[in-house]
Amino acid sequence: MKILVITSKNDPHVGMVQKHLDEPFIILDPKDYPGKTMTYLWEPPFFKIWANGEDITECNAIWYRKPIFYEPYEIPTDLAYQRFAHSAYEHTFKALYALLRNKLWVSDPWAIFHGNNKLYQIELAYALGFKIPKTIVSGDPQRVGNFIDSAEHIITKPMTTESVQLGEKTYLMYTTSVKPGINLSGLPLAPAIFQEEVSNECDVRVTVIGERIFACEIYRTGTMAPEIDWRKGQLTGNLIYKACKPPFPEMCVELVRQMGLKFGAIDFIRDHEGQYWFMEINPNGQWGFIEENTGLPLSKAMAELLTGTTIPY
What's the confidence (pLDDT) of residue 282? 95
Burial of residue 201, with CB atoms counted within 10 A of its CB: 0-12 exposed, 13-18 middle, 19 or more buried: middle
Given this model, what pLDDT does residue 313 score? Answer: 60
Contact 4, 62 (CB under 8 A): yes
CA distance 235 to 58: 41
Q: 3-state secondary structure string, the chain?
A: CCEEEECCCCCHHHHHHHCCCCCCCEEECHHHCCCCCEEEEEECCEEEEEECCEECCCCCEEEECCCCCCCHHHCCCCHHHHHHHHHHHHHHHHHHHHCCCCCEEECCHHHHHHHCCHHHHHHHHHHHCCECCCEEEECCHHHHHHHHHCCCCEEEEECCCCCEEECCEEECCCCEEECCCCCCCCHHHCCEEEEECCCCCEEEEEEEECCEEEEEEEEECHHHCCCCCHHHHHHHCCEEEEEECCCCHHHHHHHHHHCCCCEEEEEEEECCCCCEEEEEEECCCCCHHHHHHHCCCHHHHHHHHHHCCCCCC
β-strand partners of 4: 26, 62
Question: Is 0.85 topped by the overall pTM?
Answer: yes
pLDDT of res. 233: 66
Q: Which residues pair with 61 in a beta bridge?
A: 3, 104
Report pLDDT for 153.
Answer: 92
The predicted pLDDT at position 162 comes to 74
Query: What is the predicted pLDDT for the residue at 96?
Result: 95
Please tell me whether the peptide bond between 133 and the residue prior to it is cis, using omega within 30 degrees of 0. Answer: no
Tell me how far apart the alpha carbons of residues 88 and 75 are, in angstroms, rounded to a whole number: 11
Query: Closest Cα partner for 28 from 82, 83, 2?
Result: 2
pLDDT at 228: 73
Is 144 within 8 Å of 134 (Cβ atoms)?
no
**Dihedral class, residue 100 (left if φ above 0, else alpha if ψ from -120 to 50, else beta):** left
Q: Give the model's pLDDT for residue 139.
A: 95
Model pLDDT, residue 14: 96
Query: From first to last of its 313 residues, what are the pLDDT tens digits of the chain?
Result: 899 999 998 899 999 999 999 999 999 999 998 888 899 999 999 999 999 889 999 999 999 999 999 999 999 999 999 999 999 999 999 999 999 989 999 999 999 999 999 999 999 999 999 999 999 999 999 999 999 998 889 999 998 877 787 887 887 888 888 988 899 999 999 999 999 999 999 999 999 999 999 999 999 887 776 777 777 767 677 889 999 999 999 999 999 999 999 999 999 999 999 999 999 999 999 999 999 999 999 999 999 999 998 766 6
Domains and CATH numbers, the chain: 3-106 (3.40.50), 134-196 (3.30.1490), 199-307 (3.30.470.20)
Q: For residues 134 and 199, what is the distance between their CA atoms, to the nearest angstrom? A: 13
C-alpha dihedral (26, 63, 105, 213), degrees to nearest 10: 140
Rounded to the nearest 5°, which phi and psi values hold at 289? -65, -30
Closest CA to 131 of 306, 270, 36, 290: 270
